[in-house]
Amino acid sequence: MRKATWLAPTLYILFLMLPIYWLVIMSFKTTNEILSVFTLWPQDFTLENYEKIFTDSTWYNGYFNSLAYVLMNTVIAVTAALPAAYAFSRYRFLGDKHLFFWLLTNRMAPPAVFALPFFQLYSAVNLFDTHIAVALAHTLFNIPLAVWILEGFMSGVPKELDETAYVDGYPFWRFFLRIFMPTIAAGIGVAAFFCFMFSWVELLLAKTLTSVAAKPIAATMTRTASTSGYELGLLAAAGTLTIIPGAFVIYFVRNYIAKGFALGRV
């Protein structure tokens, strides 16, 4: 029993890595090799696919667009969620429980339901095809999540901390920025991580709200896949590149991921 425990996680990780391995390997093969022979390792190692992505502006702009709206969304969602989460964790006020539940119901709204109205709404306010439109649209599900996570972390901080600070004569905002926020830094990190994650991976709304100027990389890929048929190598290279920002972020928050939801109360 004792010895075999490493087996399950190892097999699981192996299972997780196989499709990723296949994608990465595919990206270094020539189209000719992909279509003609079945190889586990590129015989004819090529960087052609990556070269195309880095030299064609419709491709590399997709990355900047995605990163732009994801970062905007993370900043907006966490900034707005901080005071709200504080209010939920510290105060009772009219309709607080209902409000909290209403926020969470938005996490349950299928994006497919909102695709068309979002398109009309953001067109009406002249924000169609801008980064901020996607960033704002994604707050629909990221703000509830950020409030939920932050509230959990904040409730773990004893109220005595707030009271001591007031006794010491700290005005509220100085206390909040100088003492409270550093105390829940881990929570802010976790909330930011989840906002980044859900905004980075979502595509239905991002695609609906953009056409050219703010088109996300993932949407560029879909177009390639459908129009130019069998450019599997190119598709694989673009896919491989989308894994990198996520891997970076995971590496930085690796010690906090597991805590993320553990402290969040329902």
Partner 1 sequence: MAAKTHNPKAWLFVLPVVILVAFNALIPLMTVVNYSVQETFGDNVFFWEGVGWFEQVLHSERFHASLLRQLTFTGIILAIEVPLGVAIALTMPKKGPWVSVCLVFMAMPLLIPWNVVGAMWNIFALPDLGLLGRAINGMGIDYNFTQQPGSAWFTTILMDVWHWTSLVVLLAYAGLRSIPDAYYQAAKIDGASSWAVFRHIQLPKMKRVLTIAILLRFMDSFMIYTEPFVLTGGGPGNSTTFLSIDLVKIALGQFDLGPAAAMSLIYFLIVLLLSWIFYTLMMRNEAQ
114 — phi, psi (to 5°)?
-95, -5
Binders of partner 1: how many residues, by CB under 8 A?
Answer: 101
Here the tokens at position 116 are 């068309």
Q: Say whether residue 177 binds partner 1 (CB under 8 A).
A: no
Q: In angstroms, what is the minimal distance from the CB of 229 to partner 1?
A: 13
CB 204 within 8 A of CB 219: no
Q: Say whether residue 78 binds partner 1 (CB under 8 A).
A: no
Q: Say whether residue 127 binds partner 1 (CB under 8 A).
A: no
Q: Say whether residue 242 binds partner 1 (CB under 8 A).
A: yes
CB 136 within 8 A of CB 80: no
Q: Name all contacts of 165-168 with Cβ < 8 Å and 24+ positions apart.
A: none
How many CB atoms lie under 10 A from the CB of residue 207? 18
Residue number with CB closer to partner 1 (129 or 157)? 157
SS (H, E, C) 133-202: HHHHHHHHHHHHHHHHHHHHHHHCCCCHHHHHHHHCCCCHHHHHHHHHHHHCHHHHHHHHHHHHHHHHHC
Q: Say whether residue 173 binds partner 1 (CB under 8 A).
A: no
Q: In angstroms, what is the minimal distance from the CB of 182 to partner 1?
A: 19
Q: Which stretch binds partner 1 (CB under 8 A): 11-19, 47-55, 178-186?
A: 11-19
Q: Name all contacts of 245-252 with Cβ < 8 Å and 24+ positions apart.
A: 245/67, 245/200, 246/197, 246/200, 249/193, 249/196, 249/197
For residues 74 and 141, what is the distance between their CA atoms, to the nearest angstrom? 12
Residue number with CB closer to partner 1 (143 or 184)? 143
Q: Say whether residue 261 binds partner 1 (CB under 8 A).
A: yes
Q: Which stretch binds partner 1 (CB under 8 A): 43-51, 53-61, 181-189, 219-227?
A: 219-227
Residue number with CB closer to partner 1 (45 or 102)? 102
Helix (H) or strand (E) run with residue 233 in it: helix 232-253
Return the residues of window 30-69 that contact partner 1 according to CB under 8 A: 34-35, 38, 40, 66
Q: Say whether residue 75 binds partner 1 (CB under 8 A).
A: no
Q: Say whether residue 109 binds partner 1 (CB under 8 A).
A: yes
Q: In angstroms, what is the minimal distance from the CB of 138 to partner 1?
A: 9
Quick one: which of 46, 60, 111, 231 contacts partner 1 (CB under 8 A)? 111
Quick one: which of 47, 177, 213, 258 contacts partner 1 (CB under 8 A)? 258
Helix-helix angle 232-253:7-27, to 10 degrees: 140
CB 53 within 8 A of CB 234: yes
Return the residues of window 132-171 that contact partner 1 according to CB under 8 A: 136-137, 139-140, 143-144, 147, 155, 158-159
Quick one: which of 74, 127, 134, 264 contacts partner 1 (CB under 8 A)? 264
